[in-house]
Amino acid sequence: MVEVLVGRDAEGAAVRFLNTELVSRSVGGRAVKIVPSPMTFPLVRVSRVGGDVRDVAYDSPLLLFECWANDMKAAIDFASVVRGLVRVWARLSDDVTAVRSAGDLVFLPDPDTNKPRYQFAVQVDMKMSAV
């Protein structure tokens, strides 16, 4: 039988990684794939917004991280911590082998919540799974 490799749930992997790291470092806040209602802050939503299969064994998703908080200082501080954690993801994981910046921190106020939001994007290389 031919082995078939498929990409993993990159959003879920990022959410699990961030939640573990945020708790272990006593940062506060949480990561999600879907924004809850009501929102609690600080919060980071992870979305796959593109990417491609890098080669036969690696997926290379493009991930967007949207970081909200109650005020500007808290938002930039939280986004900076999240970005820092994501940048070292490959060193703290067996499944992620590389993280490349695809857009630095950008202030993008959220018109729906009137809360400050910063976002950034990265492209990661992730080992695929056999099915």
pLDDT tens sequence across 20-78: 999 999 999 999 999 999 999 999 999 999 999 888 889 999 999 999 999 999 999 99
Q: How far is CA 107 from the centre of its chain?
A: 17
In a domain, 49, yes or no: no
Q: Specify if 112 maps to a domain.
A: yes
Instruction: Look up the pTM and report it.
Output: 0.95
Q: What is the pLDDT of residues 96-108, one digit of tens each?
A: 999 999 999 999 9
Residue 76 lies in a domain: yes
In a domain, 26, yes or no: yes
Show the tokens assigned to 66: 């949207």
* Residue 81 main-chain phi, psi, to 5 deg: -65, -45
47 in a structural domain: no
Task: Indicate the number of domains in the chain.
Answer: 1
Residue numbers of the domain that contains 89: 5-42+54-117+124-130
Is 22 within 8 Å of 29 (Cβ atoms)?
Answer: yes
